[in-house]
Amino acid sequence: MSWKWILLLATCLLLSACAAAQEENTDGNELEEPSKEDGKFFPKLLSHIFDILSFRKVVAELKVGKTSPTMCFVCKFGIALLQHFVETDKPQEEIAHIAYTICSTLKLDSDRVCAGIINLFQDEMMYIFKRTTLGPQEVCGVLMGNECSRISSPQHNWTVPLTPFPKPPVERVLEPLKGAPVIRVLHLSDTHLDPYYMEGANADCKELMCCRIADGPAPTPSQAAGKWGDYRNCDTPLRTLEHMLRHITSKHKIDYVLWTGDIPPHDVWNTTRDEQVHILHKVSNILAKNLPGIPVYPALGNHESARINSFPQPEVKGKFSIQWLHEEVTSAWGRWLPQDAQRTLREGMYYAVRINPGLKLISLNMNYCNTQNWWMLLNSTDPARELEWLVHQLQDSELRGEKVHIIGHIPPGHSDCLPVWSANYYRIINRFESTVRGQFFGHSHLDELEVFYGDESRPTNIAYIGPSVTSYDGVNPSYRIYSIDGNYEKSTSAVLDHETYFLNLTEANLFDRPIWRLSYSARQEYGMQSLQPNQWNKLLDRFQVEDPLFQKFVRHLYHLSDFPREVCTGECKQETLCRMRTARSHDSTFCN
């Protein structure tokens, strides 16, 4: 959940509370504007909040990215208030003080987290909102889709041209030849290494992130961070990452690695450029050392910038330029990539590389679809011409008769992906459905997937969302291995099966004996004939009516975690199933 959205929610609540307080001002005097010295104004105003809007309900909707009338209300009024401050030239330090007071009074987090977040983001937010030409309605339409508000601005209502070549007949994916080679592909996602993780530190620190040296020792044994990780708001200890990689090299034969982003820890209030660069190189070096001779193909996550989710367009220069990250990413990952891939990586942080003569891998920079990357409010039209480049890459592969796998961080159907970007990507995938034979993403920390649909609700493609290495969000550290129809002349490059492995943190911490176990094989666990799109679609239909099978899926969704959760039934079940039928963000067309 983005802190930009939390503070936007808070400003909206403040606006609502102001109106309520004004109505109660029976003596007819206008409420005075709050000042830095006024310590009573905000607490008095905030006492009205829970009568105006259910704060907990809205935060819950934020967490799942749900677009609802309430969320649209929050967005439009929050943006209106912020733009009013900007248009009336309210000093930036005064706006920052208001935001801090709201954050602190509502106890959105500790005072140090509130101060750190506001300090990091205030310059960027003011820069963007002084320059955007969008009003509140269109801002919220860009971020949340047509369900919130329709967009007329051509900078945010755009279509990437496809190709003059007609779509060829859809190829039927045949079973591989008997005895044909199989490629084994390791998928790592959301590493979130915390170099300051400390066993015994306070894991219940009531902040965005715990288990760190700075959190001090735990007040009670039950609050102490485990040696190998913790289900609470804690990231990956170095020992756990290294142990996992040693286990992988000793137990599996791996042909190459997909590494789908989010390398730094979740201390988003405390990031610096130097620290982000350090952790980028540190984890890249750890992978290279522990996976010697194995190619690694990375994708950029939304945590890699010095401000989380802050990825300006390449044309943004000066103070806010992101070129420093382009250079560092190319330096860290260039060891695994040819020169032509390094060129586009340096320009836009995306690239293409041929795995073998019949298979190309494309790594996308999904931060250009990120709804929390508010630089997109200046102009979201195909930033860095990435989707135009993708069309050219896919057309080239179609003409060559080769297949393509796509990797990225934010899944295209996730609520964190801009609706207009997602819709364009969806069109591209369906146009090249016979060429694209696999998509692999991360970001959600969960073990799930998204189904693409074509004409007449025909399933066309699958985006696999790999489980996270980090335990943040109450899951077990996990990794996945895909079996791919291998390197031979008539290879389909189709995903034949996937196996997911996990570390049970409860057991590892209790006995100081980390054991990585097979969680499940997709085909075996769900009785699937293949992993083709139509088979996944049939499985989702079965989940709808066979609840024991769905509950088994939910256990895997959270990596067989021991972290307590309510049983997923009713609305939870429907939202979970809808999420997997929604590869086009903020679009529930295929949910029913």
How far, CA to CA in Å, does 526 sit from each of 75, 175, 464, 474, 589?
A: 40, 19, 16, 24, 25
d(CA 104, CA 509): 35
| Structure tokens given for 309 | 């989710």
Single-letter amino acid code for the residue at 244: M
Q: Residue 224 phi/psi, 5° resolution?
A: -80, 140
How far, CA to CA in Å, does 27 sit from each of 14, 21, 105, 251?
A: 22, 12, 27, 77
Cβ burial of 193 (10 Å; 0-12, 13-18, 19+) is: buried
194 is in an annotated binding site: no
- Residue 171 CB: number of other CB atoms within 10 A? 12
445 is in an annotated binding site: yes
Give the end-to-end CA distance of the chain in Å, rounded to a whole number: 27
How do 436-441 and 403-407 pair as beta strands?
A: parallel
Choose among 369, 360, 256: nearest CA to 313: 369
Residue 249, H or E segment: helix 238-251
Positive or negative: CA dihedral 297, 295, 332, 241: positive
409 is in an annotated binding site: yes
Q: Residue 43 phi/psi, 5° resolution?
A: -55, -40
192 is in an annotated binding site: yes
d(CA 260, CA 387): 18
Single-letter amino acid code for the residue at 152: S
**290 contacts: CB under 8 Å, gap ≥ 6:** 242, 245, 246, 249
- Residue count of the chain, please give it: 592
Strand, coil or helix: what is 567?
Answer: coil
97 is in an annotated binding site: no
252 is in an annotated binding site: no
392 is in an annotated binding site: no
Q: What DSSP line would sit under 140-194, residue for residue?
A: HHHHH-TTT-----TTTS------SSPPPPPPP-PPPPTT--EEEEEEE----B-
Positive or negative: CA dihedral 54, 29, 8, 204: negative
Residue numbers in the known binding site for Zn(2+) are 190, 192, 262, 302, 409, 443, 445
Q: Which residues are annotated as a binding site?
A: 190, 192, 262, 302, 409, 443, 445
